[in-house]
Amino acid sequence: MTPSPQLAALRSSWTAVTPNIHRAADHFRSTLADRLRPPLPEREMPLFLATLGHLIAGDDHHAGRTALLAALAPTYQHLGIQPHHHDLLLDALIATIARHTSGWTPDTADHWQRHGRHALNLTHRAATRIGGGPAWTPAEIIHREHAADTITILTLRPRRRLRYQAGQAIPVTTLRRPGVWRWYSPANAPRPDGTIELHIRAITAGPVSPLLAHHTAIGEQLWLGAPYTMGLTLDPNHDGDLLLAAGGTGLAPLRAIVEHLAANSVRLHSTHGTDLILTAGGTGLAPLRAVTEHLAGTRPRRRVTLVVGARTMPDLYDSVALDKLQTTHHDWLTVVPALSNDPLVEPASQGDVLTLALQHYQPGQHVFVAGPPDLITHARLRLPAAGVPAGHLHVAETFTRHTA
């Protein structure tokens, strides 16, 4: 769809700024230096300017704008910005863009003023709705792995530990593409060292994923927004069996759930069903350890079936990690490959991910589905029709549908 002349003017002027975002950020900050207290942090100024500018002028789909707003709103609140600061921010923004673009007109300034006021009001409402939360944080790439033709696994070390739950998503950006944010789910449960693993599929003509997959380097810095619940976090009041169905890099949040369960697989209950606290001193540990081993051995464990979809066996990335998980936890974890276009594999592995998931479905299981939007759409229709109760079906939010 062709943008309106107003949006075309906004995008044209913003496109002229982004290649010089660091220089523009210096001007933006100096313009605000004597007018905004406390001043915005110098280290975060290029990211703040890029994100705000792209929110106002960016040509982005709904999922991208949702990721951007989810990243900007907590930072807006963390920096202490209030509605009475909006005019100061917009004056500085407009002065900065006018300085770094040609063909500037009063009409263009008016477009930035009106669209910018709407964007900042939207950010303020989002910040109020979200409440107190962490601002975005830089994260260093410490490892890269080429996992498949289009998939790269990045291991990041955030400067500040992320407080997230397995199954959540986080907004991610790189200053290689200023102000453009995308959703990714950590593929691991929280680790003692704070590192997280992202699975990046390079989407042809995508604005962010090809840069992350093919052009970032070890030692480079990405930025991470606050974690967001996307429909896949575990219900603490449910400890029954699970069926997890992953398509493509939808494996990431579901693998994180498996890791979380592996780390928390032993819960001790007395014969009355109440929790136990066992306290030992010295060699008093011995009888309590015996009690622990007895309870862990007698209480039925939650069983988990993870169905992982791909076209062919070579497309089944992350197989080493999955094999290790299944070998270590074979008593409760079953990993099932679902290969939709590979006649050479055994019949039990042939078929699309939802077909094989339904073959393994047992009444009472809670079913989690993550993957491309088409898979999510089909899951919403097909699984309830096959008998999965609505309260037992958990599908990933794709952010492609308008949400209030």
Return d(Cα 128, Cα 123) in angstroms, integer.
9
pLDDT at 132: 67
Q: Rounded to the nearest 5°, which phi and psi values hold at 224?
A: -120, 135
Q: State both tokens at 85.
A: 């600061």
- pLDDT exceeds cutoff 70 at 95: yes
What is the mean pLDDT of the segment spanning 243-259?
Answer: 96
Using DSSP, state whether 120 is helix, strand or coil.
Answer: helix
pLDDT at 401: 53
Q: Which domains does the chain have, with CATH numbers?
A: 5-130 (1.10.490.10), 137-224 (2.40.30.10), 242-265+301-395 (3.40.50.80)
Query: Using one digit for the tens of pLDDT, what is the confidence trace for 7-29?
Result: 888 888 999 999 999 999 999 99
CB contact at 8 A, 27 and 96:
yes
What is the mean pLDDT of the segment spanning 108-127?
Answer: 94
In the chain, the largest separation of any two C-alpha atoms, in whole Å, equals: 82
- pLDDT exceeds cutoff 90 at 61: no
Query: Using one digit for the tens of pLDDT, what is the confidence trace for 214-245?
Result: 999 999 999 999 999 999 999 988 889 999 99
Higher pLDDT, 179 or 59: 179
**Which residues lie closer than 8 Å to 77 by C-beta, 6 or more apart?**
127, 130, 132, 133
Q: Rounded to the nearest 5°, which phi and psi values hold at 247?
A: -115, 130
Predicted structure pTM score: 0.87
Using DSSP, state whether 391 is helix, strand or coil.
Answer: helix
Q: State both tokens at 215.
A: 């052009």
Q: State both tokens at 135.
A: 């601002």
Q: Rounded to the nearest 5°, which phi and psi values hold at 74?
A: -65, -35
Give the C-alpha distances (Å, rounded to integers) separating 356 from 33, 310, 314, 396: 60, 12, 19, 19
Query: Using one digit for the tens of pLDDT, what is the confidence trace for 305-333?
Result: 999 998 888 888 998 999 999 999 999 99
